[in-house]
DNA sequence: TTCTCATAAATTGGTACCAATTTTGGATCA
DNA sequence: TGATCCAAAATTGGTACCAATTTATGAGAA
């Protein structure tokens, strides 16, 4: 569950921002696609106002791009930006490793193992979006062991900024399976308290190589 | 100049978001203060709509807090949050030091020295806001030597999240003067290419101790 | 045919009004 | 005197309409 735009009161009425974002992340709206207000209105059954507010919020987060009087388009990050964002994620996710290693209890490690298993099992029977969410959940749970409550929102935002189409993140089946293996390896290294090896693994995991 | 909300077309008509943000940063609106829509409308001479959009944007960035049907209040971060954000800033600003050291030319160093001087001179003759901007400019110029174009927006957002009242950041005159000295010291260490000493200095500089 | 210009359609963006909710003030009753 | 409840005022939030801008369409001339 994506909690960055958690403005919904009950689960029966999710915010339009979240709906549009999900459609972008699922690949429904490709990078560069024109998000016409009337179409969104019809698609989600929401008023013009809510759609406009949602688009403005997504534009603030640089998930969509806004050109005055010409509408909103799904943002497409170029290679340089993707690399820069990966670099920032590496600094943060490796930077907190010492604290994670220090804080992780046996229960935490069991929980992480479960999340890694869930990701692995979804390779076969899950949708792309479910896979994306499961991956997010694993990394989130890992980060939260740092005890830094702000880190989550920062990294969540960074992720969204690149992976406008997270579909393209795991191009091949082999790559997804390697990600799953690396998740397990991360848990192993955490259990064996090897911060340095963990750091290099995370770096390679984020760089996808 | 704060460029996070750079939606203004000409300089004659700055976005209401920027105006409100500046008033928060200058201490005009203290943490916890109630931002009544009618008052803001009158204060900035803008329509209701623009005010509402501005408040929504600030709420998204967690600079103000929104309670449905009860309005917007200036967010007040507690001590834990401030510490968490400081920790993130330290990871990022020390993490890029190697790249900064590698990239910095003699011209870059002259430029940084000038910005450090500007901050120093504003201690006597500048307003709190000018001091805040000068400090921001120094740190920005430093970061941008890393070549990472995304880092700027990430850190700018982090800064805004804590320093709702940047006034309170430099409580005493002595503290401001120490900051100015540390800026110069940063430039010195950069010039002498001492990444490790630079890292510890930056850490202490952000922690303000 | 093809380019240009004028007209019409579509889309975005802003304004004004109205409904819903909350807060305030005061009157009534214990 | 103090608490409770009701009515009025204030505030927020949403909807509908209209203006501004852009894009599409088609007619006419080279």
What is the CATH number for A191?
A: 1.20.120.530
Claim to verify: residue A28 and residue A104 sit in the same structural domain: no
pLDDT by residue (tens digit) across B70-81? Answer: 999 999 888 899
Residue-wise pLDDT for B73-108, tens only, equals: 999 888 899 899 999 999 999 999 999 999 999 999
Q: What is the pLDDT of residue A170?
A: 75
pLDDT tens per residue across span A78-105: 889 989 999 999 999 999 999 999 999 9
Residues B158 and B60 in one domain: no
Pairwise CB contact (< 8 Å): A161 & B150: yes
CATH number at residue A36: 1.10.10.10
A145, A85: one domain? yes
Domain end call among A56, A74, A92: A74
Per-chain mean pLDDT for chain B: 90
Task: For residue B17, give the chain A residue with the closest CA.
Answer: A60
**A2 belongs to a structural domain:** no
Same domain, A113 and A173: yes
- B203 & B116 share domain: yes
Instruction: Please tell me the distance from the alpha carbon of residue A98 to that of residue A47, in angstroms, as a whole number.
Output: 48
Q: Mean pLDDT over residues B170-185, rounded?
A: 92
Helical H runs in chain A? 16-25, 37-44, 48-60, 79-95, 97-103, 106-125, 128-144, 151-162, 173-191, 195-207
Across the A:B interface, residue pairs with CB atoms under 8 Å apart total 58
Same domain, A202 and A120: yes
Beta-carbon contacts of residue A52 (< 8 Å; ≥ 6 apart) = A37
Domain boundary among A27, A44, A74: A74
Q: Do residues A54 and A88 share a domain?
A: no
pLDDT for res B164:
60
Residue B110 lies in a domain: yes
pLDDT at B166 over 90: no
Q: How confident is the model at residue A165 (pLDDT cuts 50, 70, 90)?
A: low
Whether B185 and B117 map to the same domain: the answer is yes
Instruction: Considering only CA atoms, name the residue closest to the C1' of nucleotide C14.
Output: B49
My answer on whether A70 and A87 are in the same domain is: no
Structural domain count, chain A = 2
A94 and A197 together in one domain: yes
Judged against a pLDDT cut of 70, whether residue B129 lies above it is answered with yes
Place of tokens 């000409």: B10
Q: What is the pLDDT of residues A34-66, one digit of tens each?
A: 999 999 999 999 999 999 999 999 999 999 999
Answer yes or no: is A66 CB < 7 A from strand C.
Answer: yes
Query: Within this chain, do residues A133 and A160 fall inside the same structural domain, yes or no?
Result: yes
Q: Domain for residue A57, yes or no?
A: yes
The Cα B81–Cα A149 span in angstroms is: 7
Nearest CB to A91; choose among B62, B95, B149: B95
B89 and B147 share one domain: yes
Q: Is residue A1 part of a domain?
A: no
Q: Is residue A10 assigned to a domain?
A: no
> In this structure, is residue B175 part of a structural domain?
yes
Asked if the structure places residue B5 within a domain, the reply is no
Q: What is the pLDDT of residue A167?
A: 58
Mean of the pLDDT values across residues A176-180? 95
What's the confidence (pLDDT) of residue B163? 66
Please give the pLDDT value at position B56. Answer: 98
* Model pLDDT for residues A117-129, shown as the tens digit of each residue: 999 999 999 988 8
What mean pLDDT do residues A130-145 have?
A: 94
pLDDT above 80: residue B165: no
> What pLDDT does B19 receive?
96
Q: Is the pLDDT of residue A172 over 90?
A: no
Domain that holds residue B43: 16-74
Kindly state whether residue B40 falls inside one of the protein's structural domains: yes
CA distances to A169, B27, B35, B72, B81 from B32, in Å:
42, 11, 9, 9, 16
Smallest CA–CA separation between A80 and chain B, in Å? 9
Contact in structure between A104 and A145 (CB atoms under 8 Å): yes
Decide if B100 contacts B190 (C-beta within 8 A).
yes
Where is the domain boundary, A74, A101, A120?
A74
Q: Does the pLDDT value for residue A10 go beyond 50?
A: no
Residue B73 bridge partners (DSSP): B34, B65
Q: Which nucleotide is nearest to A38 (CA to C1')?
A: C11
**Is residue B117 scored above 80 in pLDDT?**
yes
Which among B91, B149, B153 has CB closest to A95? B91
User: Is the pLDDT at A23 greater than 90, yes or no?
Assistant: yes
């Amino acid at each position: 569950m994506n909690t960055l735009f958690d403005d919904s009161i009950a689960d029966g009425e999710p915010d339009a921002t979240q709906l549009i974002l999900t459609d972008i992340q699922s690949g429904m709206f490709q990078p560069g696609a024109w998000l016409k207000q009337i179409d969104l209105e019809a698609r989600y059954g929401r008023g013009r106002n809510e759609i406009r507010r949602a688009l403005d919020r997504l534009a603030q987060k640089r998930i969509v791009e806004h050109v005055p009087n010409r509408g909103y388009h799904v943002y497409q990050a170029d290679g340089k930006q993707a690399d820069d964002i990966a670099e920032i994620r590496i600094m943060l996710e490796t930077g907190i490793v010492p604290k994670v290693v220090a804080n992780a209890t046996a229960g935490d490690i069991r929980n992480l193992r479960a999340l890694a298993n869930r990701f692995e099992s979804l390779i076969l029977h899950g949708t792309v979006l479910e896979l994306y969410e499961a991956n997010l959940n694993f990394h989130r749970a890992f980060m939260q062991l740092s005890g830094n409550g702000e880190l989550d929102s920062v990294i969540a935002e960074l992720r969204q900024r690149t992976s406008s189409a997270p579909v393209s993140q795991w191009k091949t089946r082999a790559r997804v399976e390697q990600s799953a293996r690396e998740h397990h390896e991360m848990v192993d290294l955490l259990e064996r308290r090897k911060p340095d090896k963990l750091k290099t693994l995370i770096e390679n995991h984020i760089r996808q190589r």
